[in-house]
Amino acid sequence: MDPRTPFLRLVDLALPPRCPGCGAIVEADHRFCAVCWASLQFLGPPWCASCHLPFAFDAGEGMRCGACLADPPPHDGVRAAVAYGDVARRLALKLKYGGRLAAAETMARAMLRLVPDGVDLIVPVPLHRWRLWSRGFNQALLIAEGVSRHTGLPIERDMLRRAKATPKLQGLGRRARSKAVAGAFALAPDARPTIEGRTILLVDDVHTSGAAGDGCARLLKHGGAARVILLCWARVLPDQPLD
């Protein structure tokens, strides 16, 4: 028997696992209580063949939503574990502004089921150095590292960079968000040999208007990537308000 076992049992009694959503005691780390679990809207097929926006029913293979028919996105789909809602928002804020770093592992575990076959490389959405200094971490990188640990996929931490600081996007509409991030990203100078012809998994915490993901996907495609698939914890659906 591990000599640490009695001590670890005492720790478990003193600090039992808590629900990532509400803090209720649960049976294991990174598991939601029944109430929070029931309130989460898990996303997946059937969805738009282009952007992966969930459909209410299966419209057939290759079916695309109206927005993608009118203006195809620069990426190859957005795969989100859950729809943005109270619990999803609470967990994202705990990580982003509360410094609850364990939330990144919770998110990564929920996202694993949506990692497609054929991915060559994981790339996190970057954070500007000023915000990195003030926050102390890039939440997208922490989530990406969790996905990498569980899948064994390699990760390139500095493939994308924030070329300029952007204002906080909370409270901005979709057009304002797109304008705010225009020209905000840059590709590493030596990126092409690493990404050319590859399928990239671009990881972020929350997909809102899509402005950041679109900008990063365009850069990666311009740099030679064959496909760029976005993977995130939560996605704001079209009928949900941005915050």
Q: Please write the tens of the pLDDT for every residue from 164-213.
A: 656 555 554 555 555 556 677 999 999 999 999 999 999 999 999 888 99
Tens digits of per-residue pLDDT, 64-107?
999 999 999 999 999 999 999 999 999 999 999 988 999 999 99
Interior/surface letters 194-214, b for 16+ CB within 10 angstroms, e for the rest: bbeebbbbbbbbbbbbbbbbb
pTM of the model: 0.86
CA distance 135 to 146: 19
**What does DSSP assign to residue 141?**
H
Q: Provide the pLDDT for residue 175.
A: 58
Q: Are 175 and 231 in contact (CB under 8 A)?
A: no
The separation between CA 119 and the C-alpha centre of its own chain, rounded to angstroms, equals 16
Closest listed residue to residue 151, CA positions, set 116, 104, 125, 200: 116
Pick the CATH number of 41-235 from 1.10.760, 1.20.120, 1.10.150, 3.40.50: 3.40.50
Sort strands 121-124 and 160-162 into parallel, antiparallel or unpaired.
unpaired
Handedness of CA 136, 138, 141, 142 (dihedral sign): positive
Beta pairing class for 227-235 and 121-124:
unpaired
Q: How far is it, in rounded angstroms, from Cα 41 to Cα 56? A: 13
User: In this prediction, what percent of the chain has a pLDDT beyond 90?
Assistant: 70
201 forms beta bridges with: 122, 229
- How confident is the model over 123-157, as pLDDT tens digits? 999 987 777 777 889 999 999 999 999 999 999 99
Amino acid at 150: H
pLDDT tens digits, one per residue of 17-47: 999 999 999 999 999 999 999 999 999 999 9
Q: Token pair for residue 107?
A: 């998110």
Q: Which of 128, 81, 91, 16 is nearest to 230 (CA)?
A: 81
Query: Cis peptide before 116, with omega less than 30 degrees from 0?
Result: no
3-state secondary structure of 209: coil
Angstrom distances, CA of residue 4 to CA of 7, 94, 95, 104 = 5, 31, 30, 27
Q: Where are the domains of the chain?
A: 1-39, 41-235
When pLDDT is cut at 50, 70 and 90, the band that residue 114 belongs to is very high
Q: Could you tell me the pLDDT band of residue 8, with boundaries at 50, 70 and 90? A: very low
